[in-house]
Structure 1
Amino acid sequence: MAEYDKWDIRKLEILRTLRERGTVTATAQALMMTPSAVSQQLTNLAKQLDVTLLEAQGRRVRLTDAAELVLRHAEAVFEQLERADAELTAYAHGEVGEVRVGAFSTAVPALVVPAVRALRAARPGISVQVREAEAAEAYELLGAGVVDLALSLAAQAPSAADSRFTRVPLLADPLDLALPHGHALAGAPVVRLADFAAESWIFGGSGPWSDITRGACEAAGFSPHQGHSAAGWTAILAMVEAGMGVALVPRMAAVRREGVVMRELAGERPHRHVVAAVRRGAEEGAAVGRVLEALGEVAAGLGR
């Protein structure tokens, strides 16, 4: 095994400074050392490397050919250390790093993808790895350390009392009403949820979206009649387009369809709340913080 410990970086730096400054005294001043300390360090380096590094030249010293050879190789080391230092500084300031994100299906195109695009332009050293995962899986992955950040509906997120995670509110996503194009109220000046108490409603049979739809309708004074059940927005909007019923659709999940009219509701507009979660303490990590910032900026744009 090579004796790497004899290549002392601090002593090599003193030798390099001596070549630049020309005298032991000037070297000592530049490095805030005493001349005797400079001489002692260079003597020790010569012993470690088992070569003569300096020769007397009047009142000055001259670097030997061996010293020049040593410095030629040392310069490559100094250059690599400068690169390492720059990368560590960038890492500490959130300029580089990989962040793994688990996000539910509608959050990927609406929040995560725009955030990744913004980061690519502003901070190309940050790599984001995206994994589509609904809440239960996302939080399992987060707890296991497989992802660094999870996006979910607030209703599905761990409670604030869960000491493993920190929750970060991102977005209050408005719920709009999806109507068939030919519906009598599709072109009404004002649309209120209570106007659709007698309609056939389309929403999932269970889970958070069923709870959100039922909760919004009950807050408007009626219990919705579930005419059809579907979990995916493509299926829900296809059924609305076919005139099979109406549905509440989160704004960031809406996909334009010719036969569907999306109407903003008057009065107390229902929302679903989207949150990010990280392992407690991880929000202080610079790269994770940059991703949270980018997600927050996209969410703010959607909110406007």
Structure 2
Amino acid sequence: MFDLHRLRLLRELKHRGTLAAVAAALSYSPSSVSQQLSVLEKEVGVPLLEPVGRRVRLTEQGEILVAHTEAVLERLEQARAEVAGSLTGLTGTLRLAAFQTAALTLIPPTLTLLRAAHPALRVHVTEAEPEAALPALRARDFDLVIAEEYPGHPHPRHPELEEVDLSQDALRLALPAGAGEGPAGRPWVMEPEGTPARRWAMALCRDAGWEPDVRYESTDMLLHLRLVEQGHAAALLPDLLWCGRKPTVPLLELPGGRRSRRLFTVVRGGSSRHPAVRACREALARAAQELDRTAGDG
């Protein structure tokens, strides 16, 4: 019989990459993690790790063990959901991660709905971009992530994660008021290189036949907006940024098929039936619907 705690440590190493990262995440010392994994290797009877430079990686047998550990942990998620479902009233903590514009516009009304319906449920919110939040979800740092997908740039799917669509968020070209020249002749603000938003934006401009002059880089959409408002740059802004309010800068439609990003929620397999996860998804859906209605009225 293999020790589940040690199997979890091996799984953490698979997802976090280094012994130091595992130790930091679980509040252990690296030597303690290494010792526990050595004990697991003795239990299994074969090497589970092999050195690669200064780091280690899982052997084929280690990968097999992690795959089975994932299946066991998914069943435990299902058991946790069933136990929670058998209780009256929601308690405990739900750990939620959301990117900036979703955190600004969807999270506050969602918290209001959850507080009214489930006052004993504690919701812990972290602002995090999907490229950081989704690996953290797989590592069990979060219970639910609000993520985004840009048109023509699908994100990698992971079989152990479950997605549910939330809404479509329109994207528009924002130009400073009174700008004489078009977008090709102006400085631009975009998200940093390597991000899905940057890849989508660059492809959009290049498909139109020109290379954008990117002078400002930030993941902060409020900074993007401020630079447009004060005449320093053009930007591609999501409608979610306005939260139902009237835009403060001129906006232009994008070409067909490239006009909106997909917003969706992600949880680990087996946890989608947990009452707290279901309640949060329902509240998020209501908040998104109300925001769409408000935007439509405006």
User: Do they superpose with TM above 0.5?
Assistant: yes
Q: Please name the residue that 1:214 is paired with.
A: 202
* Aligned-pair CA distance for 1:257: 11
* Aligned-pair CA distance for 1:126: 2.8
Q: Which runs of 5+ in 2 are unaligned?
A: 1-81, 294-298
* Aligned-pair CA distance for 1:291: 0.3
Q: Which amino acid aligns with 1:248?
A: L
**Any conservation in 2 of the 1:158–1:165 contact (CA below 8 Å)?**
no
Q: Which amino acid aligns with 2:200?
A: I
Separation of aligned partners in 1, 2:202 and 2:88: 42
Q: Please name the residue that 2:156 is paired with.
A: 159
Separation of aligned partners in 1, 2:88 and 2:146: 20
* 2:288 maps to 1:299: yes
* Aligned-pair CA distance for 1:247: 0.8
Q: Please name the residue that 1:121 is paired with.
A: 116
Q: Work out which of the residue numbers 179, 189, 196 in structure 2 matches 1:183.
A: 179
Structure 2-normalised TM-score?
0.59
* 2:266 maps to 1:270: no
SS at match of 2:97: strand
SS at match of 2:267: strand
Cα deviations across residues 195-234 of structure 1 (Å, max 9, x unaligned)?
Answer: 6344433213411221222233345x33342242221223
Q: Which runs of 5+ in 1 are unaligned?
A: 1-87, 186-194
* Aligned-pair CA distance for 1:144: 2.3
Distance change in 2, residues 1:287/1:227 (3 Å): closer
Q: Work out which of the residue numbers 217, 220, 227 in structure 2 matches 1:239.
A: 227
Separation of aligned partners in 1, 2:100 and 2:137: 17
* Aligned-pair CA distance for 1:254: 4.3
Provide the identity percentage: 28
**Any conservation in 2 of the 1:101–1:128 contact (CA below 8 Å)?**
yes
Cα deviations across residues 38-70 of structure 1 (Å, max 9, x unaligned)?
Answer: xxxxxxxxxxxxxxxxxxxxxxxxxxxxxxxxx
SS at match of 1:180: coil
**Any conservation in 1 of the 2:202–2:212 contact (CA below 8 Å)?**
no
* 2:136 maps to 1:147: no
Q: What's the C-alpha RMSD, in Å, of the aligned pairs? A: 3.3
Separation of aligned partners in 1, 2:123 and 2:221: 26
Distance change in 2, residues 1:256/1:241 (3 Å): farther
**Any conservation in 2 of the 1:164–1:280 contact (CA below 8 Å)?**
yes
